[in-house]
Structure 1
Amino acid sequence: MPKSTLFNTFKRILKRACLDEGLRIHSLRHTYAVLMLEAGADIKFVQEQLGHGSVQITSDVYAHISKKLEKRNIDRYEEYTANILGSNNLKSGDVWGTPQKN
């Protein structure tokens, strides 16, 4: 398919969808990657889908984009460490089940 056909079709789609006609078709690639990561897809899978040479490239480009990813990873870490400590009842500031004194 000629590039011009692809780009012209994409412009028509943007217009019909009342989206900014200045969006580049490459934006679809970025959107796909971010949505996949936010949905919980493994970064290795996303790397293969995008055809990047390494996971590091994918991570460098996309991992910092979404605050959802950051929050999800922090939540997973907190849940994991709470399970290690044997209590899901630990409150912020508790260390090994003993409240901190201020």
Structure 2
Amino acid sequence: DFVFTTTGKPIPKSTLKNVLDRILKNAELPQISVHGLRHTHAVLLLEAGVEMKYIQERLGHKSIEITSNIYSHVTPKIIENEQSKYEAYVGQEFIF
């Protein structure tokens, strides 16, 4: 898919990369590719507990399997969130 300007023409990937690189440098943040930024966004959505179907649609994947296969790895934040859900469900006295 493309990122479009107000003229309706796609922005070249190199322009998008150059703008992102400049923003990251000025903010003194580590370099990340546009694709890496997309991946990070999807993982942050997962960590926030957003449904996979929403992420699939947001990323424009044709099937939920594509999204799930790429982004369903477990991060420390997801482990923490899921453990909290379990503890709330069964109660603290059953946690070993």
Q: What TM-score results when the alignment is normalised by the length of structure 2?
A: 0.70
1:5 aligns with 2:15: yes
Q: Are 2:63 and 1:60 aligned?
A: no
> Identity of aligned pairs, percent?
47
Amino acid at match of 2:55: V
Task: Tell me by how many angstroms 1:44 deviates.
Answer: 0.7
Question: What residue in structure 2 maps to residue 34 of structure 1?
Answer: 43
Segments of 4+ moved more than 6 angstroms: none
Change (3 A) 1:78 1:89: closer
Give the conservation status (yes or no) of the 8 Å contact 2:87–2:95.
no
Counterpart for residue 7 of structure 2? none
Q: Distance in 2 between matches of 1:92 and 1:31?
A: 32
Alignment of 1:5-24 (within 5 A): 5-21=15-31, 23-24=32-33
- Alignment partners' CA distance in 1, 2:14 and 2:64: 32
Stretches of structure 2 that go unaligned for 5 or more consecutive residues are 1-10
When the two chains are superposed, the root-mean-square deviation of aligned CA atoms in Å is 2.2
* Unpaired segments ≥5 residues, structure 1: 83-87, 94-102
Greater helix content: 2
- After superposition, the Cα gap between the structure-2 partners of 1:55 and 1:77, relative to the gap in structure 1 and judged at 3 Å, is farther
Residues 57-91 of structure 1 show CA distances to partners (whole Å, capped at 9, x for unaligned) of: 222221214122233234434544x3xxxxx4743
In the alignment, which residue of structure 2 is the partner of 1:91? 94
